[in-house]
Amino acid sequence: MSNPCSLVANNVNLKIGQQQILSDVCLNVGSGKVMGVLGPNGAGKTSLLKMLSGQVASHHSVSWDNKTLTDYDPMSLAKQIAVVNQLNESVFALDLYQIVRMGLLPHKSLLSRQTPEDDKSISDAISRVGLDNKVHQSFNSLSGGEQQRGLIARALVQKAALIVLDEPVNHLDIYYQHQVLKLLRSLAHKLNITVVMSLHDLNLAANYCDHLCLLDQGEMVAQGPPEQVLTSQRLEQVFKIPCQIRHDTNNAVFRVDFYPPDELEIDLPQSIEKP
Ligand SMILES: Nc1ncnc2c1ncn2[C@@H]1O[C@H](COP(=O)(O)OP(=O)(O)OP(=O)(O)O)[C@@H](O)[C@H]1O
């Protein structure tokens, strides 16, 4: 029997056309933990996150809080799981407040009015992500980091116990990368929210995630604490580039460095002539 509020994937498979996108992927993330999903382009990270969050049917192979996602009706699932997909410009001219307010939707009927408590939960969430001074700014005009934090505030208003994020630090500068990941880690550890996210930066993953899983060609290559998953031999095999890993005195992964060999230099085709 799994822990209450753990996210469990049991032999997740996904086939689209003739391509096997995910093959027998299994994982278990306990409540209040941060899980990083790693792997090269096309490994299946986004596909896995979509199945873990119920965006793609998982046919009883994924459960949250001891209940398969298939057994939740859409509203109940939306109260449990918040999804932050890769940033796309909003087609609506909404301000930050209105975007964050969308987190209330799973908790409201069509006719219900917004209460002072709702307003407070929206303001609190916006404060928690440090955007008080941007409340009425158009969402599209916020910086990438501010938009990302705005979407996390929406997840907070949604009161989701599980937040699933696809490359949440993509496009963010180094300051916002750390700021967003620190925020997610503190939400997990202080509010017992479970966070599952895909990341490309292995150093950030090692620093901010409690557990990692490494996918390659739709298969789970390894999962566990960062120091067990991130070994130079394994990373070299998956990313095809020599790699060195340094550990600190507690054996935590301190630094992952890749050393692209000279043969990675690409000869330009002769058809491309000098200007
Ligand atoms: N709807 C679809 N139709 C056909 N193929 C798909 C579809 N969705 C994903 N794929 C294929 O599944 C594989 C995994 O894609 P996915 O987006 O999950 O990878 P990823 O690890 O997130 O990659 P990246 O790091 O590039 O974002 C890829 O080969 C992709 O082309």
Query: Could you tell me the pLDDT band of residue 263, with boundaries at 50, 70 and 90?
Result: low
Quote the number of domains for the chain. Answer: 1
Angle at 100 between CA 95 and CA 104, to 5 degrees: 130
How many whole angstroms separate alpha carbon 81 and alpha carbon 163?
Answer: 6
In a domain, 1, yes or no: no
254 lies in a domain?
no
Higher pLDDT, 164 or 268: 164
Cβ–ligand 1 contact at 233 (below 6 Å): no
Is residue 250 situated within a structural domain?
A: no
Tell me if 270 is assigned to some domain: no
Of residues 209 and 86, the one with the higher pLDDT is 209
239-252 residue pLDDT tens: 999 999 998 888 88
Cβ contacts of 241 within 8 Å, gap of 6 or more:
258, 259, 260, 261, 264
Residue closest via CA to ligand 1's atom 31 equals 42
Read off the DSSP letter of residue 129: T
Question: What CATH number is attached to the domain comprising 191?
Answer: 3.40.50.300
Ligand 1 atom index nearest CA of 39: 21
Which residue's C-alpha comes closest to atom 12 of ligand 1? Answer: 21
Please state, in angstroms and rounded to a whole number, the distance separating the CA atoms of residues 7 and 18. 29
Q: Tell whether 247 is covered by a domain.
A: no
Pocket test for ligand 1, best of 16, 85, 197 (most atoms within 8 A of CB): 16
* 44 has pLDDT over 70: yes
Q: Whose CA is nearest to atom 24 of ligand 1?
A: 41
Q: Kindly report the number of other CB atoms within 10 A of residue 228's CB atom.
A: 14
Asked if residue 18 has its Cβ within 6 Å of ligand 1, the reply is no
Spell 100-137 as b/e; 16+ CB within 10 A means b: bbebbebeeeeeeeeeeebeebbbebbebbebeebbee
Residues whose CB is less than 8 angstroms from the CB of residue 250 and which lie 6 or more positions away in sequence, other chains included: none
The token duo for 269 is 């085709």
As a whole number of angstroms, the distance between CA 231 and CA 236 comes to 8
**How many angstroms separate the alpha carbon of residue 218 from the centre of ligand 1?**
9
Which residue lies with its CA nearest to atom 26 of ligand 1?
Answer: 41
Residue 249, in any domain of the structure: no
Q: Beta partners for 95?
A: 138
pTM as predicted: 0.90
- The encoded tokens of residue 177 equal 């990368």
Instruction: Establish whether residue 46 lines the binding site of ligand 1, counting it when its CB lies within 6 angstroms of any ligand atom.
Output: yes
Cα angle 57-63-64, degrees, rounded to a multiple of 5:
115
Q: Among 47, 86, 171, name the best residue to mutate to test ligand 1's pocket (greatest count of ligand atoms within 8 A of Cβ).
A: 47
Please choose, from the candidates 53, 138, 55, the residue with its C-alpha nearest in 3D space to the C-alpha of residue 95: 138
Helices (runs of H) and strands (runs of E) counted in the chain: 9, 12
pLDDT in tens, 171-222: 788 888 898 899 899 999 999 999 999 999 999 999 999 999 999 999 999 9
Tell me, using a 6 A CB cutoff, whether residue 39 lines ligand 1: yes
Which atom number of ligand 1 is nearest to the Cα of residue 167? 27
Query: In this structure, what is the dihedral angle of CA atoms 77, 79, 83, 88, given to the nearest 10 degrees?
Result: 110
Atom from ligand 1 closest to the CA of residue 47: 18
273 belongs to a structural domain: no
C-alpha 103/C-alpha 155 separation (Å) is 6
Tell me: the pLDDT tens digits for 108-163? 877 788 889 999 999 999 998 889 999 999 999 998 888 888 998 999 899 899 99
Residue 11's domain comprises 7-225
What lies within 8 Å, CB to CB, of 131 at 6+ separation is 96, 146, 149, 150, 153
